[in-house]
Amino acid sequence: MEIKERDGLARIAKFETPHGTIETPTVLPVINPNIMDITPQEMKPLGLQGIITNSYIILRTPQLRDRALKEGLHSLIGYDGPIMTDSGTFQSYVYGSIEFNNREVVDFQKRIGSDISTILDVFTTPGTSRSEAEKALIETYNRMMEVNDETGIIAGPVQGGIYPDLRRRSAELMNSTNARYHPIGGVVPLLETYDYSTLVDIIINSKISLSFNRPVHLFGGGHPMFFAFSVYMGVDLFDSASYVKYAKDDRLIYPDGTRDLARITELPQWSPLYDKYTVKEIRDLDREKRSVEIARHNLKAIFMEIAEIKERIYEEGLAQYVAQKARSHPSLMKAYWRMMSYSNILEKYEDLSKKTAYFFYDSFSTRNPYVSRLNRFTESFLSSNRKDTYAFNARAWVPGYTNSEFVRDVYQRIDCNALISWSGTFVPAELENTYPVEQTVSSGFETDPDFSRVKDMISPFRVDVYKGEKFEGEPVRSFNLNKIRTVADYQFGFGVGKMLFRDDVKINVSKTGRIRGILSKDGRQIATLRNDGFFTLTYYGASLIHSQLKRPSMRVIVSRDSAEYNAKGYSVFFKFVVDADENIVAKNDVLVVDEDDGLVAVGKATVSGRELKEYTEGIAVKVHEGRDQSEK
């Protein structure tokens, strides 16, 4: 897969198939080869990039089978784009068995020219016992191994029932095979009962155990209500027969749910039926015609939601969109709460900062991955700076306080830890401008942070709430120097601040008092502080870190051939990455080094440390200064 844009685990990526490129995230509408009331050609204007059809139906229907073998699958369906074929797993579950075995089904899919073939996996339901779910995942893996030497794109489904550890085990087993595509199976009953919170467990535990270089597909996840949640957790593709199933029951799909035709009075303007029918006219259509027309509406709703999600990824605002969607239905809110319980995992893949502001809604926002990241840093900050601590709550802290009484009369006059309240928690005051502390749009519903947690970490040192008292005497320390060191520690790791910024550095500030550039004593530029409150390093600044911070910290190791070009300022491509620090944060500055640990460039990682080692297509590091450029 080639990454175009990303937002945490969500990604817009290109996936190549024999009949064209699929750009994710997207939906593959289910096409019944016997009945095509809406053809793939009619779906193209909506955003169709590929379809899914059932190879078992074709195989067991002589007329369809003969045509497919003679003319090919694409001719049979009447579509020249990517086609994925399902294997008959669901039919096997419903009927107890089917008349073909796994190898026969896969072989047939390849013979008729399927772009993505699927093995005959073993279906599980939420009611499947743990022992049966374990047997199913092992049998599914064994069936994958039966065809593991086959060429082409074969989908290896992840099974394991509702058991997170079994999902991880299944994903790890499938990850070890030659499967190039991974559907998450056995989830339709959960979607039908709105059990989205259990689905969260399944998706996250499957996703983190699969290679990031392979597409993840949520089998049967065809309702747009849960699309944004799924994409946020790393799902790339969906398939949908819901547009037809719901239409047959006179149900219209909307981005936030489903409505009965009998209960609506107006059609939304985005519906393809809006200028064509009144609601009464749709009701008066004969049943078959009415189902087809409602299916057109449902397809529009599905692809409209995909388009919205992609736009949110481009804006780096998908997390905010998910938070908004969560408040549209109790089941989604429950799922959101469950999803935020995985914030420590999600945080590993979140960018250093985003283009969009951080929205604080309510107590649910305190479980956000960015809060998790800041809380972890704050705990380490206090543990390594054990001394008296003042906490400035929202009523005592004035925004823009770098020019306030607080800095002049408190911070610079006494040697203490200073914490400010933010998003219902505490963070070091030095991170005042660092994303997302300054870039927060708040509802104002934050509760006062819990001081007891700070007291436990600092004891026996004093912890108190600042009440506006004055402190006399000359300044004993520099707020700006401590600020740039603390930001560097947060951005690059504890200890880097002092490596990078000695006591004699020159700190340039703007007319408004904001820190801009930091120079060494002899005038060499070390770094620039951006509007998001983080640093962009120069090659010289990177060399200061490189000389003291041992590998693999902050490093992206490239091949010797690549190093030569990166030193000239050219970006690093994934295929030339030899290794990388697992702790690298996406969109953070990194050290680009050769295989001998020679520093060749500094740049911004496009993805996290783990992803740097797994992707094979696209740009891994956007270099902003190479060694050869710095020497000019």
Helices 479-492, 369-384: inter-axial angle, 10-degree rounding: 120
Q: Which residue has the tokens 């200890």?
A: 495
Residue 525 tokens read as 């530029």
How far, in Å, are 30, 60, 111, 545 from residue 105 at the CA level?
A: 18, 10, 10, 56
Are 204 and 231 in contact, with CB atoms under 8 Å apart?
A: no
Q: Is 561 a catalytic residue?
A: no
Are 360 and 423 in contact, with CB atoms under 8 Å apart?
A: yes
- Give the amino acid at 94: V
Nearest Cα to 192, choosing from 230, 157, 234, 221? 221
Q: Which residue has the tokens 């995992």?
A: 345
Distance from C-alpha of 17 to C-alpha of 338, rounded to nearest angstrom: 35
How far, in Å, are 242, 347, 495, 513, 549 from residue 489 at the CA level?
A: 50, 17, 6, 22, 12
Distance from C-alpha of 381 to C-alpha of 490, rounded to nearest angstrom: 9
Are 100 and 143 in contact, with CB atoms under 8 Å apart?
A: no
How far, in Å, are 113, 200, 229, 503 from residue 364 at the CA level?
A: 48, 16, 15, 41
Distance from C-alpha of 235 to C-alpha of 578, rounded to nearest angstrom: 27
Helix or strand run (H / E) with residue 147:
none
**What is the DSSP track for 511-522?**
TTS-EEEEE-TT
Nearest Cα to 214, choosing from 175, 249, 263, 162? 175
**What is the DSSP track for 490-503?**
HHH-TTHHHHH--T
Scored b (16 or more CB within 10 A) or e, 112-146 reads bbbbbbbbbbbbbebebeeeebbebbbebbebbee
Catalytic residue among 86, 121, 239, 351: 86
Residue 168 tokens read as 């991880």
Nearest Cα to 534, choosing from 487, 583, 602, 483? 487
Count Cβ atoms within 10 A of the Cβ of residue 409 and give its class: 0-12 exposed, 13-18 middle, 19 or more buried. Answer: middle
Catalytically active residues are 86
